[in-house]
Amino acid sequence: MYGGRPVSLVPEHARTDVWPGHPQPLGARFRVGPDGTEGTNFALWAGGAEAVEICLFDDEGRETRRHLEELTHEIWHGFLPGVRPGQRYGYRVHGPWDPSAGARWNPAKLLLDPYARAVDGEFALPDAVYAHDRHHRPAERADTVRDDHDSAPHVPKGVVVHDADAWIDDRRPKTPWPDSVIYELHVRGFTMRHPGIPPELRGTYAGLGHPAAIEHLVQLGVTAVELLPVHQFAHEDHLLRRGLVNYWGYNSIGYFAPHASYSASGTRGQQVGEFKNMVRALHQAGIEVILDVVYNHTAEAGEGGPTLSLRGIANPGYYRLAENPRHYADYTGCGNTLHVVQPQVLRLITDSLRYWVQEMGVDGFRFDLAAALARSFHDVDMLSPFLAVIAQDPVLRRVKLIAEPWDVGDGGYQVGAFPPLWTEWNDRYRDTVRDYWRGALPDVRDLGYRLSGSSDLYAWGGRRPYASVNFITAHDGFTLRDLVSYERKHNEANGEENRDGTDDNRSWNCGAEGETEDPATNALRRRQLRNLLTTLLLSTGVPMLVAGDEFGRTQGGNNNGYCQDNETGWVDWSLPADPHWRPLLDLTRRLIRMRREHPVLRRRAFFSGRRQAPAGIRDLGWFTADGREMTGEDWHSPSRTVAMYLSGRDIPQRDAKGRPVTDVSFLVVLHAGEEPTDFPLPGPPWGSVYRLLLDTSRELQDAPPDSTHLGGTTLRVPERAVLLLRVEPTTPEIRAGA
């Protein structure tokens, strides 16, 4: 008996003594050992542990244990002859139980290998998965009392996976940053209701790789999908008790394993091949794959959380502990923070990143709460070990790196502070554009910076405008449709009495809270959606869309749908066929196509704002509502109308053969006022003739009959609208550039 559970007889394939094996590489690696014997080498870093058992499980769940006798530089290792791919396994790690010193070893708890490449089974969270007695009284001391119930029946197991050949790099799209349009989606939510995907593939990697899913992405014109977490994750106990799950997946526990429940083909290693096939299918369509990764914390939470992996392997080594090491330093709001300055933790993260690039084929990463990874000991440090290692790594410095540049600790807000190579989610862009279109900006200084690439944040250290990932919505918060339909969050279905989720929505419901049958209100809301999407896709920087925003997806006012694995969280694929929402999709496609066709809309360098020869106009011009060039005083004054002139003659860029890149010029007029206004079009040298290409006051964007306007004349601008006008070429060289 062990922990109250019988141990099975040793299977035939594991009766041979454990051979010494090798301490490198970490994890379970199937290989050919001495004398040509096939087997698996197991290696686990467990600093401070006293003993490590490798535990093998047969199909009936019977367990066989073997001690790893070899210890090299705190890595326990051994080679087990006959253990082949598909074998399920876990670890039991022995050591002292002394929570006051941060020591929480408990061999009754089966632990997931941090390097497991596949995971079979789901985490249930009964009392047995906690290394401490949750019911001990007084409750404030419960985490100090050890629980010896066996957790093996209640936790998933790692799976030995056959190593595949390295990824063939020459099939990657390798889209340059300035040309990128990112589309944030959830593997399950994007595919669950798609009528073109076979029912058995919905909610899976195979579903996302299906031609019906890819067709939408290609027709939309996005260049990359950013997948909400696909690392193996666990569901929190408080959600399971309410009949909910962690739908978004920001609760990682396996940094090498594709989340098993997104696999249509099986969970005994098949999920690895299925994920690779999905990536290949997207690459063949010219679409990159970016992973949203959560290396700042794990699903083990604080001292009251379950013991699933790292806590039971080497708690003081893997986690940042507080001054009282019984507790955790929490810069993430999730109970714990990985101790990234520790060499083995840094190695775990970088090994994981390289694995996903080299063997799984992904093209980049968005780092959740990246400021937590940049903390050296307490403060955020842009010379931290993590950032230094990434900068010099020959694999990782070549992929797309996106920071969520904040955490919840003191000094954690770091927008604009990450070094070159990194791009950032620019929440100042989000807030400014929302405020402008709801009429809450005190002046237009911030709007000017955000529309033109946020040079105030990123014009240093060689950074470029594409350091700014511009977004108006993300998975966290209202959808775009809800942003113009709700002023208050409606998160009652989350079971937290509407206390969860932000109260700072910067939204405007257009006069009625929630869905309404009023035609005028709905027409205004759709106009506001067109304004927001047009602003985003005409701004300098890298635009990010959220799946479904292009055709009016709603979450019913829920701004924190992290636990809504249902129709609230899934994309509604009936909307593209709805005559009310189809025009929004068509507009989004048109705007993305325009970005692709016009380099002036995706500049690789910041605007200078200086007058350029020979015409003597600026590469970026700003105009007031009365048609004057803006002065410093104008920037500090309230205004509901701003016009932005983008010169195609002055793009500081050359093509592959060294020839100057030129384009047509555009004038963008943004008017957030409640009444129409007259706007005098800038005359020569800015432009002699303007052609109206787009007017967001109109539901359908077919060309209006009066689309041509002379410079110096007055243009009637409808209320709450964006007008996009092209400056018609007037000289041979500019005409050739068009």
Catalytically active residues, by annotation? 368, 404
Specify whether the CB–CB gap between 237 and 355 falls below 8 A: no
Phi, psi of 579 (to 5 degrees): -60, -20
Q: What residue ranges in 212-270 does DSSP mark as E strands?
A: 224-227, 231-233, 252-258
Q: How far is CA 617 from the centre of its chain?
A: 40
Q: Output Rg (C-alpha) for the chain, integer angstroms.
A: 28
Q: How far is CA 680 from the centre of its chain?
A: 42
Specify whether the CB–CB gap between 431 and 423 falls below 8 A: no
Cα separation, 148 vs 194, in Å, equals 46
Residue with the two structure tokens 């992405």: 217
The three-state DSSP-derived secondary structure of 269-334 is CHHHHHHHHHHHHHHHCCCEEEEEECCCCCCCCCCCCCCCCHHHHHHHHHECECCCCCCECCCCCC
Q: Which amino acid is at 164?
A: A
Specify whether the CB–CB gap between 524 and 506 falls below 8 A: no
Helix (H) or strand (E) holding 721: strand 721-727
Cα separation, 498 vs 496, in Å, equals 5
Cα separation, 208 vs 342, in Å, equals 37
Closest CA to 77 of 50, 40, 41, 107: 41
User: Nearest-5° angle of CA 705, CA 711, CA 717?
Assistant: 55
Cα separation, 590 vs 588, in Å, equals 5
List residues bridging with 328 in a β-sheet: 321
Specify whether the CB–CB gap between 81 and 19 falls below 8 A: yes
DSSP 8-class letter at 577: G
Phi, psi of 3 (to 5 degrees): 60, 25
Taking the CA atoms of 316, 317, 320 and 323 in sequence, report the sign of the dihedral they define: positive
Q: Does residue 579 have a cis bond before it (omega within 30 degrees)?
A: no
